[in-house]
Copies of this chain bind each other. A is one copy, B any other.
């Protein structure tokens, strides 16, 4: 079984997308950091390895990875878009207290959308909001 990283590389090859140094680094970063990083986080961390790195490259690469279906944009927060390597069906929970974003298992395949029988559905996103146990205990 291939790793997420190898699978993604394979997918890019079949779509004739060049595996440049910067693109591989972004991909590697996302496979290692599944904490839904922002562009700023990806940029400032990778800049340590690649001092000449530009933020535009991060944006360009994430656009390509999103279009290819390797990465998914998480828009649970208002300001910054977060990015997530697509692994399996899961939803995102955001705590209103600490802002933490947590993955949770949910079977989106079994979700039935009444009235969309004639529609082609390409993507399903599930966002929950509330308070995490750690923040709950603070208000007790």
Contacts and interface: CB of A to CB of B under 8 A. Distances in A.
Interface residues on A, range: 20 to 34
A21 interface: no
A91 interface: yes
A32 interface: no
Interface of A: 75, 78, 91, 93, 95-96, 102, 104-106, 111-116, 118-133, 136
A120 B130 contact: yes
A95 B93 CA distance: 25
Contacts of A128: 113, 116, 121, 123-125
Nearest to A93: B116
Contact of A122 (B78, B96, B102): B96
Contact of A104 (B75, B114, B129, B133): B114
